[in-house]
Amino acid sequence: MIFRFLPAPLRGVVSMLGYVLNTLFWVSILFIVALFKFIIPIAAWRDFCSQILTWIAENWISLNNLNSFLVNRIQWDVTGMEGLNRESSYLVMSNHQSWTDILVLQKIFNRRIPFMKFFLKKELIWVPALGLAWWALDFPFMKRYSEAFLKKHPHLKGRDIETTRRACEKFKTTPVTIMNFVEGTRFTPKKHRRQSSPYGHLLRPKAGGTAYVLQAMGDRLHQILDVTIVYPDGSRSFWHFLTGRMKRVMVRVQTRPIDTRIIGDYFNDAEFRERFQSWLNELWTGKDLQIEPLVRKAHTAARPGMLLSPQV
């Protein structure tokens, strides 16, 4: 495509402009539908509006993907997508390398599984514009009480998870995908050293968020999609993505069952908390072992003279 022959900085500006214009176009339509959904409190009407809003969001993603295709020439190496469908509900658990990860996940999963949503703190519903968009797209809002607050108000123990469960009632009959970056933050060598992470290519996983999602929605989720993202050339920033300097993206998807043994009260049951942490650490060890040969394979396959930056 003609945009691919532009100088990298100019290509980045063109690509960024494409994302901005695409976002403004679809978000303006989304807000109109969201307004009608908000002012007419009829369940059937709101369900209909939710379907339209999902269609808007998926078209938004599709045009973002087209923008990437026109500007960049990325070699995609994706496996494990067999058997996925839009009628099942999933928990996506992924490592977090870059802000680009969200675009990567949206590209590979768009229209293959239900539209991905994030758990959000209840207070975020008041964020101007975005709060309404998240509410309109049925992002689940959660209310968490701090340990100090519960000590002063012990009668509210367990009320937070019940509030979240009620917020997720809509997913009883509607398939959903919940997205969770388990490490809680993007990987950097500095963070890796500061954590003294036992993994070569990953930060330590944070168990609380994942356990909370499973406790609130475990009976509505069918499978876990264990996703591993690797940028084998080391170019993984959003600017690299915009300017076409990201040449290869590797994604490995493993479908895992949701065992009842990983659903429980993580915050109040010490025995379950230890068991859940062990399960998650074991999963993260397997993910780390999976990344190593992918990086090694990418280095071996690189053209002579091509300089590859290590992941860590």
Q: Does 205 score more than 70 pLDDT?
A: yes
Strand pairing report for 120-121 and 141-142: parallel
pTM of the shown model: 0.85
Q: Is the pLDDT of residue 71 over 60?
A: yes
Which has more pLDDT, 171 or 211? 211
Buried b (16+ CB within 10 A) or exposed e, 26-45: bbeebeebbeebeeeeeeee
The mean of the pLDDT values for the chain is 85
Tell me how far apart the alpha carbons of residues 164 and 172 are, in angstroms, rounded to a whole number.
13
- Closest C-alpha to 51, from 175, 168, 223, 164: 175
159/156 Cα distance (integer angstroms) = 5
- Tens-place pLDDT, residues 265-300: 888 889 999 999 999 999 999 999 999 888 877 666
Determine the average pLDDT of the residues in 228-246.
Answer: 85
> What is the pLDDT at residue 146?
60
Residue 21 burial (CB count, 10 A): 12
Whole-number pLDDT of residue 307: 38
Whole-angstrom Cα distance, residue 312 to residue 309? 9
pLDDT in tens, 127-146: 776 777 788 888 877 766 56
Residue partners of 15: CB distance under 8 A and separation at least 6: 3, 67, 68, 71, 72, 242, 243
Q: Is 208 exposed, middle or buried (0-12, 13-18, 19+ CB in 10 A)?
A: middle
Q: What is the pLDDT of residue 213?
A: 86
- Model confidence at 308, pLDDT cuts 50, 70, 90, reads very low
pLDDT digits (tens, 9 = 90+) for 98-109: 889 999 999 999
Domain at 74-301, CATH class:
alpha beta
